[in-house]
Amino acid sequence: MKKNILLIHTGGTISMELDSKTGGVILSAANPLALEIDNIQQFATITEVEAFNLPSPHITPEKMLELRVLLTKHVKNNPVDGVVITHGTDTLEETAYFLELSTNYDIPIVLTGAMRSSNEIGSDGVYNLMSAVRVAAADDANTKGVLVVLNDEIHTATNVTKTHSSSVSTFQSPQYGPIGIVTKSDIHFHHAPLSRTYLPVESISKKVAMFKIYAGMESDLLISISSLGYDGVVLEGLGQGNVPPALIVGIRHLLDQGLPVILVSRCFNGIAQDIYAYEGGGKMLKDMGVRFEHGLSGQKARLKLLLELCSV
Ligand code: ASP
């Protein structure tokens, strides 16, 4: 029996087209994916909703929350077997992770997008949408959390990141790899996530800053955020989780003000740990009260802290 899938569009290149006059990629007045739905209905019975039509750099945590509210309302009123969301690829991993943290469904929620717009040669949008629908309709996709499907690979929202500015194989999960693959005849899962964090959130009322740490960085920018109304900060530290010594004054200032300071590594493999005891080393930071967020990228650690602060 065919599964029922809720398909929510939010915009992005997958819903855009190339303007032959200017050579620019533009938002289409009518979603070009709508023309393909009859074809995709062979894999599932689709109910379509246009949530927004935005390029993904225009997506904010408030929009992510709006999407979560819309999704939960639909699923409550008309239970479905899975949800597919089309999204611009630039911030797709952030919306996926926001939904990973703020929902706790057993049914799959699958995000997909495209690197080439609808009328470009080699456009990957319809293919990725079809793959995402097939994954959302697969029994094995249940209880795997929020997934990201592009280019025949299935990734978790927690680990996936956009690694290339233009390649169709841009979405990768550094260190962990995909948890499954899409083939012509099947959906194969070869791994499953071990655990899931749930942070129910009803409003976005806090501000979290993020800094990539660099050689020679000083404390001035860090110190400024407490007077700018920020409620917490994520630092993408060096190597195993270290910062230049000149940052200690700024970090101490924020901790004294009661702001959580979260440390991840700016390396995209490995995790931040409290190893080095020198001035600015991870051990010193941990002793000061800096919290280590193991294995998350800066942008995901930032969303997690934001949701933690907003859900208390
Ligand atoms: N800039 C586009 C966006 O994120 C890229 C894409 O969708 O692939 O909306």
Domain ranges of the chain: 4-189, 208-310
**Ligand 1 and 115: CB distance under 6 A:** yes
- Per-residue model confidence as pLDDT tens digits over 12-65: 999 888 888 899 988 887 888 888 888 999 999 999 999 999 999 999 999 999
> 113 CB under 6 A from ligand 1?
yes
Both tokens assigned to 57: 């750099």
**158: annotated binding-site residue?**
no
CATH entry, 208-310, from 3.40.50.40, 3.40.50.720, 3.20.20.70, 3.40.50.970: 3.40.50.40
Mean pLDDT of 72-87: 96
pLDDT at 245: 98
Q: What is the pLDDT of residue 30?
A: 80
Ligand 1 pocket member 92 (CB < 6 A): no
The residue annotated as part of the active site, out of 86, 89, 95, 170, is 89
* CATH homologous superfamily of 4-189: L-asparaginase, N-terminal domain (3.40.50.1170)
Domains 4-189 and 208-310 share a fold: yes
**72 annotated as belonging to a binding site for a ligand:** no
This prediction's pTM: 0.96
**Tens of pLDDT along 209-224?**
999 999 999 999 999 9
Mean pLDDT of 246-254: 98
**Cβ of 125 less than 6 Å from ligand 1:** no
Q: Is residue 155 over pLDDT 80? A: yes
Q: What is the 76 CA–ligand 1 centroid distance (Å)?
A: 30
- Per-residue confidence (pLDDT) for residue 224, from 0 to 100: 96
pLDDT in tens, 268-311: 899 999 999 999 999 999 999 999 998 899 999 999 999 999 99
> Is 47 designated active site?
no
Q: Whose CA is nearest to atom 3 of ligand 1?
A: 88
